[in-house]
Chain A
Amino acid sequence: SSKQTSISSFFKKE
């Protein structure tokens, strides 16, 4: 099975 990752883990907060 696969797990959904979060978009905020790829992009840094500005």
Chain B
Amino acid sequence: MFEARLGQATILKKILDAIKDLLNEATFDCSDSGIQLQAMDNSHVSLVSLTLRSDGFDKFRCDRNLSMGMNLGSMAKILKCANNEDNVTMKAQDNADTVTIMFESANQEKVSDYEMKLMNLDQEHLGIPETDFSCVVRMPAMEFARICRDLAQFSESVVICCTKEGVKFSASGDVGTANIKLAQTGSVDKEEEAVIIEMQEPVTLTFACRYLNAFTKATPLSTQVQLSMCADVPLVVEYAIKDLGHIRYYLAPKIED
């Protein structure tokens, strides 16, 4: 028996919004420690890794490890039927071929349930090595989304250059060149507005804008985003999900031809 309950459907809606542009379907691996999802996008350029800890749920029970392959388009249709403040419960029997998603209004006067067929997905699981990153940047998630959106107008690629002075995002194309520099913030009143750079050595990497823009669909989940970079390895873009877990996106760099 698997059962996981969250106080607000809005969190699940935001999580789905953060992955459904990259993935058509994905396997949710459930165990007593929580729910994990790892999947590459169709073109195998990026990888999404979602962790939801069992202690972040209002109720969590998972008697046996369970892998639930879900069509994310179908899940989006179901979640559209929930009000943001509804409780949401996911339930499945062991070895089931369906999952039940139930919404309850705060006053318990409306209860709806949706049974969704599960899929057998033959997904490769990749081992992600521990990396000592050269640069780790923490910045407001909205600012990162704005920069990715703005620079995508100028080029398919963005160059991220991080030094101890700050982080520079550049794009160059037919129109010309765009550069956006962010300095590390001195003192800020609000932690969520800070730009913090931890640098071991400077790094310059090139990434495809369309993937960065897809990652920023996670912006409603978190006030801050963390970018971890190291020469010649994938960028890690991480959004914390308060009290529940995190979503990490790995993006393979572009290299000189």
| B235 CB to nearest A CB, Å | 11
Q: Are A9 and B252 in contact (CB under 8 A)?
A: yes
Q: Are B254 and A12 in contact (CB under 8 A)?
A: no
CB < 8 Å: which of B125, B255, B256 contacts A14?
B125
- Distance between Cα atoms of A1 and B46 in the complex (Å): 20
Interface string of B43-63 (1 = CB under 8 A from A): 011110000000000000000
| A5 CB to nearest B CB, Å | 4
Q: Which residues of B contact A12 (CB under 8 A)?
A: 126-127, 129
Q: Are B252 and A7 in contact (CB under 8 A)?
A: yes
Q: Are B206 and A2 in contact (CB under 8 A)?
A: yes
CB < 8 Å: which of B40, B124, B125, B255 contacts A3?
B255
| A8 CB to nearest B CB, Å | 5
Q: Which residues of A contact B47 (CB under 8 A)?
A: 7, 11
Q: Which residues of B contact A8 (CB under 8 A)?
A: 40, 44, 124, 126
Closest to B46 in A: A7
- Chain B 113-138 interface residues, beta-carbon cutoff 8 Å to A: 124-129
Q: Are B45 and A10 in contact (CB under 8 A)?
A: no
Q: Are A2 and B234 in contact (CB under 8 A)?
A: no
CB < 8 Å: which of B127, B129, B157, B255 contacts A5?
B255
| B225 CB to nearest A CB, Å | 19
Whether a CB of chain A sits under 8 angstroms from the CB of B251 is yes
Most buried by B among A5, A9, A14: A5
- Distance between Cα atoms of A14 and B47 in the complex (Å): 15
- Chain B 217-257 interface residues, beta-carbon cutoff 8 Å to A: 233-234, 250-257
- Distance between Cα atoms of A12 and B47 in the complex (Å): 13
Whether a CB of chain A sits under 8 angstroms from the CB of B147 is no
- Distance between Cα atoms of A12 and B31 in the complex (Å): 23
Told that A7-B126, A11-B234 touch, could you supply 14 new A-B pairs with CB distance under 8 A? A2-B206, A3-B255, A3-B257, A4-B254, A5-B252, A5-B253, A5-B254, A7-B44, A7-B47, A10-B233, A12-B126, A12-B127, A13-B126, A14-B127
Show the binding face of B for A, using Cβ within 8 Å: 40, 44-47, 124-129, 157, 206, 208, 233-234, 250-257
Show the binding face of A for B, using Cβ within 8 Å: 1-14
Q: List 15 A-B contacts (CB under 8 A).
A: A2-B157, A2-B256, A3-B254, A3-B255, A5-B45, A5-B254, A5-B255, A7-B40, A7-B45, A7-B126, A7-B251, A10-B234, A11-B47, A11-B234, A13-B124
